[in-house]
Amino acid sequence: MSVLIAAWQAAPTLARALASVRAQTHRDWELVVVEDGSRDGTEALVRAFAAEVSQPVRYDNPGVNQGVAAARNRLLRLAAGDALAFLDADDEWTPDHLRLAAARLAAGADLVAAGVSTFDLATGAPLGDVLPPAALESDPVGTLFRASVIVTSSCVVFTRDLLRRTGDFDLRFRIGEDRDYWLRAGHAGARLAIEPALTCRYAKHPGSAMARTLAVAEQTVRFYEKHARLTAVPVALRRRLLARSLATEARLLRATDPRASARLLWRAWRLAPADPALPAHLVFSALRAVVSRPSPRVLLVADLLGGQCRRSGIHQLARVLSGHPAVRVIATPDTRPRRALGKLWSMLHHWPARNQSQTFTELETDWALATARLAAAHFLVGEYHAPYLSRRPGKQAVIATLHMPASALDAPPPRTGRVHTLVLLSSRERDFFAGAWGARQTVVIPHGVDTDFFRPGAGPDPARPSILVVGRTLRDFALTGAAVLRLAARHPRWRFDFVVPASVWHGVELAAVRTLRGVCWHDRIDDETLRLLYQTATCHLTPFRDCTANNALVESLACGLPPVTNDRGGVRDYGAGVVYPLARDNSVAALMELCERHAAEPAWRSGIAAACRAFALDTLSWPVIARRHLELYAQVSRLS
């Protein structure tokens, strides 16, 4: 049986949870802990626990906070047991929890929900007992649709067979992902059993009330929207509960966003026109919307980084967020008029020479901040605007995303400036950039990828393995060239595709491979051709000198193409060492070893390819990254 703990800043409570695992009378268990991006001593607690018990213990940390649904999916992929038991890091079990659950699974149940004793986390005082209703066994879908009757995932144990039938947790849920999962399990035919013994102790937290209440309301709406066509539930009930959830969210939004409140109430009234309370609420919100000022938005400065294809690049975030009520996007085309005006402005201020289109972008940003109701400005490529970031703070907050690692800088950034928040693409750079340009906080949000466009295809030809090389910045092309040279000599029928700029292809580092049979150079290809290369390659050979993130790496992951790389820069934030193996050292032989194994063991490669795709969907898809940016914008807007 696999005990699965998702932890985030869990050090204060984790020891108690681990002690309850060790005390189980059912001794056949393994423990898997995924720390969701925090670094607060949780790993040390898990390592110490592993040294004290004879059962297998595994610890993992993706390096970035992905949310509880992604953490649970990661736990499920790492688990080896035939039965799976979640335990939140601040909850506990009584010693018989696993034994009683295992007995009910052996009797034919697919999922067991135990009784729960709740307590106050701050004081330890008991708050009452909760037993799942009997209807959960006879009508799990209807019961879970009506209400969230399983109060915590810590009381649930289920089979691996049910996992196969139900699938992953839905990443669109930041709260309530477990209710959605148990409903889907019931819809997949799960046989649910209730264990009446109170074997789970559930910690309740004190007060974040309003913010969390609104988040719960939003997720409840999403739950009922997702299951609006669930045929196992009567249509009238589906419409009524969706309308009720919309009205609840609307009432909570009325004070801060009356326009959104009115829109939600209009939807609710159309679903439930017989509800007498909805028209009055709708009129009240509409009146508030007429007399209130709009909430301040964040100005997203959509810098372009390099010459990406239409589907690539950090500026895709602007495409995803365009039209969102909390965001105003300004484009930054590099045109002659913009350069001319930027140059004139720089000359008036005696500023040093630079790309004057960027100067115009900063002038445009200042104008927008001065004339519109904006809470902050976010520069998607902070490196372009270092002089601007160094100026004295203004009234509105400034957010800047940094792309280059510390090793690429000529000098450390100044410690004073106008930055409120720095967004980094890998956690390795956090200590170096903490406080740069006066930043109050430094957060890590990974680079995104269009997982709808970059997706798996037909796969490689097993009769003729193909090695793909894509990219330019901070790649170790000397190491790449040496590996390709030796692989081509050992495997003359293999194909090697290079998607690199002309300056790299004609450079000295790749001179030895240019004339090799089976080597093909692609220059200035379109998105569809690039995607086809990702989809049909055996692996993506991409050793680095350093990096934070890059388009080629995330695109290959999204296409299910296993990367072959070394332990450099921020690659571990993008699944290296967990989702796909790293080269054992920074050598040609180590890179060759992985390439040859991908070619020789199709089943092994297929497992890694599936894990790469799942990681991209869970962690890197633009909707996930956009949601994390919106959460950051909301936080900065509240604090600034």
Q: Where are the domains of the chain?
A: 2-206, 211-291, 297-448+633-639, 466-620
**What are the beta bridge partners of residue 32?**
4, 58
Per 3-state DSSP, the chain is made up of helix, strand and coil in percentages (nearest 5) of 45, 15, 35
**At residue 198, does pLDDT exceed 60?**
yes
Q: How is domain 297-448+633-639 classified at the architecture level of CATH?
A: 3-Layer(aba) Sandwich (3.40)
Sheet of strand 327-331: strand arrangement: 327-331, 297-302, 374-379, 397-402, 421-424, 441-444
Q: Which fold has domain 2-206?
A: Spore Coat Polysaccharide Biosynthesis Protein SpsA; Chain A (3.90.550)
Residue 217 and residue 211: Cα distance in Å, rounded? 10
User: Two tokens at 431?
Assistant: 């200590």
User: Which pLDDT belongs to residue 467?
Assistant: 98
Same fold, 297-448+633-639 and 466-620: yes
Identify the CA nearest to 586 among candidates 611, 604, 566: 566
CATH class of residue range 466-620:
alpha beta
Q: What are phi and psi of 504, to 5 degrees?
A: -80, -45
Over 70: is that where the pLDDT of 96 sits?
Answer: yes
The yes-or-no verdict on residue 256 having pLDDT over 80 is no
What pLDDT score was predicted for residue 332? 85
Dmax (CA) for the chain in angstroms is 82
Average confidence (pLDDT) over 196-219: 74
Q: What mean pLDDT do residues 598-627 have?
A: 90
Q: Name the strand (E) or helix (H) holding 118.
A: strand 111-120
Say what the pTM is. 0.64
pLDDT, tens digit, 9 for 90 and up, residues 21-65: 999 999 999 999 999 888 888 999 999 999 999 999 999 998 767
Question: What angle do the packed helices 68-78 and 177-187 form, to 10 degrees?
Answer: 50
Comparing 60-74, 76-90, 545-559, which segment has the lowest mean pLDDT?
60-74
Instruction: Give the confidence band of 306 by pLDDT, cuts at 50, 70, 90.
Output: low
Q: pLDDT confidence of 89, banded at 50, 70, 90?
A: very high
Tell how strand 539-541 and strand 519-522 pair up.
Answer: unpaired
Q: What pLDDT sits at residue 294? A: 60
Q: What would the pLDDT profile of 546-575 be if each residue is shown by its tens digit?
A: 999 999 999 999 999 999 999 999 999 999
CA–CA separation, 500 and 568 (whole Å): 20
The yes-or-no verdict on residue 400 having pLDDT over 90 is: yes
Q: Per mean pLDDT, which of 141-155, 208-222, 291-305 is the most reliable? A: 141-155
- Would you state the pLDDT for residue 169? 93
If phi > 0 it is left, if psi is from -120 to 50 it is alpha, else beta; for residue 300 that is beta
Question: What does 233-257 look like in DSSP terms, one character per residue?
Answer: S-HHHHHHHHHHHHHHHHHHHTTT-
- Residue 618's pLDDT band (boundaries 50, 70, 90)? confident
Of the candidates 301, 296, 295, the residue with the CA atom closest to the CA atom of residue 317:
301
Give the residue carrying structure tokens 């070619």. Answer: 599
In 121-154, beta strands by DSSP E: 126-130
Of 209-223, 589-603, 616-630, the least confident: 209-223
